[in-house]
């Protein structure tokens, strides 16, 4: 663990000192917890299933932490984080630290153990879990604290201190990381029964005493630095919210005396007012900024940086998998060094590496050239250190020139550039790509052809995926099953799903997506410009991880992707069969996207590929085509000032996919959330004929948009039941919900459908639920 010490031990002590302080001005904001092969996931799930003990789980976790710390120490990182490990989520860890356990979990004080902790995270037999929501604009989800005036805070989890000591015992001095007190409150919600208007920030003086206790213990344990993550500083905060930072850090100042404090911000440029607040905080030694996303922060620093303070310059991207352009970063760092001073610059990651894949070493199947363009968390550590060394005059020429060669190969590689695609994408900007006829006239034309009953029923696409089905797919991929056998098996599955829907008397059918493992991967595998990893997992929530495809080049569609299966499905029925596609914005938002051109450019390219697919489906006689944009909202920039631009190209990309179809072809889209009151005009601007949306957990919110008088003429199917739960809704219950919708929406535009795909459910749940859904629709048709 002490490589750097042993190599310098023979030198005179002054030199050793200077090497240690100058050569290693490097810092990592945070590190993935899952492990290079998702070791934590499997340990957690085995523990939850009672197949292993708490001790087994703790052992796996401790081993992972030790290997991460050792890896960073070996690489030469100076500021190594601790307490960025978590059994579930760092915000939940903070809730535990503060003893802010909602009363329903029956916690009676003392140190919070696995029981209470995992009950809050996942619920238990008698109590549901706490709410989970997206962590800023990432695909990571945190557990939302539930707070109110009654909460009695107490120091109830010593995890931060224990991890610090654990690292120290291994010979690694770390920077303990805490979610900052103000961000913690800003990310909370009022508990049930607490008035919505309750000021969460008013709790600040109640949580600070706990923070002070933690700080005191960390000091006593030998900490010299402490990191507070205050990412909410990059949001659009008002003066009152900014004032909370000033207040909190003044209140902490005396407790923090003797410690170096760094406040980390990330995920976007920091607004001017927040920058002023941050750099005026008392008792703070340094500030961390994300210098990858946006460029305005750089200008702010150039415009003025407090003297004597440390700048943690986040130049290595924590949210992507591309190797850093080291030469470019080094020149940025040198410019910054000129401003903040030689001893005050620390090379860092743009944010926690939690949001990138873990270790490229395990990618044995990736093409060699593409692999040379990539850096996962383990490689990013090495990049950070290489930059820090170079900045202090110890440039590793070999490492830099290998990096420069990889950058050059990426720039010039023919597998990246496809001129025809670039030209076609560039030409798109001159037109709006709107269908010629307006939506109500189109709906009329479609109805003549489709002849659907009122309140037509449909589903979102996927049907349950049995173990047998997954096995066939897997074995076909591994070439253990012949193409012929595979096609036969999938055909049978489609036929079964079609027959079931006919029996249930559903109006617009789906083929069930049995050939798809994942709605983005399935398309990525058939498009040019995509690569796939074996172990490139990123934590989404708890033990759940996703493996985003890598878009490395211009995207094109060598041949039709879904026409074969959709045509077969349509041949099994006289009812309309929906063609089922994933939209460009969703493919983009759920992939690792190239950073050598704007996201919008890549999105337009995908849109063109999907457009060709839409038109091929239409030619093959498919009259209803659903283009899922499950993740459109996810890409929404954090700051209001950036949102219109995003929505504009995202919605434009969607329209491109289907502007060329006949009036009689019905375009559906689907979205996996209902929080779109603020973007409703963009959704209308997508100009789909029918939109199905997740809604089952918040009827009121969604419907209030329409109650507020938003003009909506297209078809709409707010999900009538929650597919995320195994519960089977009754006919009455579904009818009741449809009635609520009818009170707000015209009956001739309302569709009846579940709120998302049925892939994760069992047939024993799906059959009765859909049967009740159809019964409810039929019941209400008689009452219209
Ligand atoms: N068509 C997809 C399915 O049914 C949509 C999934 C989603 O919205 N996440 O599985
Ligand atoms: Zn969905």
pLDDT tens column, 641-699? 999 999 999 999 999 999 999 999 999 999 987 677 889 999 999 999 999 998 766 56
Q: What is the pLDDT of residues 196-230, one digit of tens each?
A: 889 999 999 999 999 999 999 999 999 999 999 99
Q: Where are the beta strands (DSSP E) in 366-508?
A: none
628 lines ligand 1 (CB under 6 A): yes
Which residue's alpha carbon is nearest to atom 6 within ligand 1?
757
User: What percent of the chain shows pLDDT beyond 90?
Assistant: 91
Q: How far apart are alpha carbons 261 and 278 in whole angstroms?
A: 12
Q: How far apart are alpha carbons 142 and 136 in whole angstroms?
A: 10
Supply 28's token pair: 């990592």
User: Partners of 690 in the beta sheet?
Assistant: 668, 715
* Count of residues making up the chain: 784
Q: What's the average model confidence in pLDDT over 40-50?
A: 97
Q: Confirm or deny that 41 is annotated as ligand binding.
A: yes
Q: What is the mean pLDDT of the chain?
A: 94
The upper half-sphere exposure of residue 422, i.e. CA atoms within 13 Å in the direction of its Cβ, equals 9
Which residue's alpha carbon is nearest to atom 9 within ligand 1?
630
Which residue's alpha carbon is nearest to atom 3 within ligand 1?
757
pLDDT of residue 725: 84
pLDDT band, very low/low/confident/very high, at 708 (cuts 50, 70, 90) = confident
Q: What is the pLDDT of residues 739-773, one digit of tens each?
A: 999 998 999 999 999 999 999 899 999 999 999 99
Q: Is the pLDDT of residue 12 over 50?
A: no
Contact yes or no for 290/264 (Cβ under 8 A): no
- Out of 630, 669, 674, mutate this one to test ligand 1's pocket (max ligand atoms within 8 Å of CB): namely 630
For residue 462, the ligand 1 atom closest to its alpha carbon is: 4
User: Partners of 462 in the beta sheet?
Assistant: 512
pLDDT of residue 698: 58
Q: Confirm or deny that 649 is annotated as ligand binding.
A: no
**Per-residue three-class SS string for 59-80:** HHHHHHHHHHHHHHHHHCCCEE
Q: How far apart are alpha carbons 607 and 427 in whole angstroms?
A: 13
460 lines ligand 1 (CB under 6 A): yes
580 lines ligand 1 (CB under 6 A): yes
Cα 297 to ligand 1 centre (Å): 38
724 classed as catalytic: yes
pLDDT of residue 697: 61
Q: What is the pLDDT of residues 244-257, one digit of tens each?
A: 999 999 999 999 99
pLDDT of residue 1: 37
Which residue's alpha carbon is nearest to atom 4 within ligand 1?
757
Q: What is the pLDDT of residues 585-634, one digit of tens each?
A: 999 999 999 999 999 999 999 999 999 999 999 999 999 999 999 999 98
Supply 107's token pair: 């916690």
Q: What's the average model confidence in pLDDT over 144-171?
A: 97
462 lines ligand 1 (CB under 6 A): yes
Q: Is the pLDDT of residue 777 over 70?
A: yes
pLDDT band, very low/low/confident/very high, at 510 (cuts 50, 70, 90) = very high
pLDDT of residue 6: 36
Q: Is the pLDDT of residue 53 over 50?
A: yes
Give DSSP secondary structure letters for 243-296.
Answer: HHHHHHHHHHHHHHTTSEEEEE--SSPPPHHHHHHHHT-TT--EEEEE-SS-SH
583 lines ligand 1 (CB under 6 A): no
Cα 583 to ligand 1 centre (Å): 11
């Amino acid at each position: 663990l002490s490589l750097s010490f042993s190599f310098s031990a023979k030198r005179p002590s002054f030199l050793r000192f200077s090497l240690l302080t100058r050569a290693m001005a490097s810092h990592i904001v945070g590190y993935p917890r899952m492990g290079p092969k998702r070791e934590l996931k499997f340990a957690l799930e085995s523990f939850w299933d009672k197949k292993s003990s708490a001790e087994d789980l703790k052992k796996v976790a401790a081993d992972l932490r030790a290997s991460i710390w050792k890896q960073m120490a070996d690489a030469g990182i100076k500021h190594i984080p601790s307490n960025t490990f978590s059994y579930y989520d760092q915000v939940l860890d903070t809730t535990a630290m503060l003893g802010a356990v909602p009363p329903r979990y029956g916690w009676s004080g003392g140190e919070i153990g696995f029981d209470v902790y995992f009950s809050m995270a996942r619920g238990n037999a008698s109590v549901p879990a706490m709410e989970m929501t997206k962590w800023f604009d990432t695909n990571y989800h945190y557990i939302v604290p539930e707070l109110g005036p009654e909460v009695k805070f107490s120091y109830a989890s010593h995890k931060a201190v224990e991890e610090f000591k654990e690292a120290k015992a291994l010979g690694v001095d770390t920077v303990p990381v805490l979610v900052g007190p103000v961000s913690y409150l800003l990310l909370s919600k009022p508990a049930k029964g607490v008035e919505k208007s309750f000021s969460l920030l008013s709790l600040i003086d109640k949580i600070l005493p706990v923070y002070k206790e933690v700080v005191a213990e960390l000091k006593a344990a030998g900490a010299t630095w402490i990191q507070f993550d205050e990412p909410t500083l990059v949001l659009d905060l008002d003066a009152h919210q900014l004032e909370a930072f000033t207040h909190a850090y003044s209140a902490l100042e005396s407790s923090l005396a003797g410690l170096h404090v760094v406040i980390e911000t990330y995920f976007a440029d920091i607004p001017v007012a927040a920058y002023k607040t941050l750099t005026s905080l008392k008792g703070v030694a340094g500030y961390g900024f994300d210098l990858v996303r946006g460029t305005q922060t750089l200008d702010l620093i150039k415009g003025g940086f407090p003297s004597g303070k440390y700048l943690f310059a986040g130049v290595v991207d924590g949210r992507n998998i591309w190797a850093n352009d080291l030469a470019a970063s080094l020149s940025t760092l040198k410019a910054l060094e000129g401003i903040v001073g030689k001893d005050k610059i620390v090379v860092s990651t743009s944010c926690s590496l939690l949001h990138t894949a873990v270790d490229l070493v395990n990618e044995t199947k990736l093409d060699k050239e593409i692999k040379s363009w990539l850096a996962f968390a383990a490689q990013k550590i090495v990049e950070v250190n290489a930059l820090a060394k170079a900045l202090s005059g110890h440039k590793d020429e070999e490492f830099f020139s290998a990096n420069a060669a990889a950058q050059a190969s990426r720039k010039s590689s023919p597998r990246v550039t496809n001129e025809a695609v670039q030209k076609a994408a560039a030409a798109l900007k001159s037109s709006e790509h709107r269908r010629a006829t307006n939506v109500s006239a189109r709906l009329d034309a479609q109805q003549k052809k489709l002849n659907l009953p009122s309140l037509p029923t449909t589903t979102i696409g996927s049907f349950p995926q049995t173990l047998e089905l997954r096995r066939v797919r897997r074995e076909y991929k591994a070439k253990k099953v012949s193409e012929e056998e595979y096609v036969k098996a999938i055909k049978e599955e489609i036929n079964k799903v079609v027959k079931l829907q006919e029996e249930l008397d559903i109006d617009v059918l789906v083929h069930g997506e049995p050939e798809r493992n994942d709605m983005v991967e399935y398309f990525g595998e058939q498009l040019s410009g995509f690569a796939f990893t074996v172990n490139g997992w990123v934590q989404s929530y708890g033990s759940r991880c996703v493996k985003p495809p890598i878009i490395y080049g211009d995207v094109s569609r060598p041949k039709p992707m879904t026409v074969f299966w959709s045509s077969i499905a349509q041949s099994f029925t006289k009812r309309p069969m929906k063609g089922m596609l994933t939209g460009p914005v969703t493919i983009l938002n759920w992939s690792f996207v190239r950073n050598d051109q704007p996201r919008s450019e890549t999105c337009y390219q995908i849109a063109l590929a999907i457009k060709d697919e839409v038109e091929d489906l239409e030619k093959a006689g498919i009259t209803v085509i659903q283009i899922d944009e499950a993740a459109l909202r996810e890409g929404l920039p954090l700051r209001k000032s950036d949102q219109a631009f995003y929505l504009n190209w995202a919605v434009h990309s969607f329209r491109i996919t289907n502007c060329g179809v006949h009036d009689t072809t019905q375009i559906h889209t689907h979205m996996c959330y209902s929080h779109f009151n603020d973007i409703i005009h963009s959704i209308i601007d997508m100009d789909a004929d029918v939109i199905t949306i997740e809604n089952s957990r918040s009827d009121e919110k969604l419907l209030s948009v329409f109650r507020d008088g938003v003009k909506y003429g297209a078809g709409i199917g707010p999900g009538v039941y929650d597919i995320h739960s195994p519960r089977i809704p009754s006919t009455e219950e579904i009818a009741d919900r449809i009635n609520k919708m009818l009170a707000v929406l015209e009956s001739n535009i309302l569709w009846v459908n579940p709120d998302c795909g049925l892939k994760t459910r069992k047939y024993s749940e799906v059959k009765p639920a859909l049967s009740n859904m159809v019964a409810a629709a039929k019941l209400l048709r008689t009452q219209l």
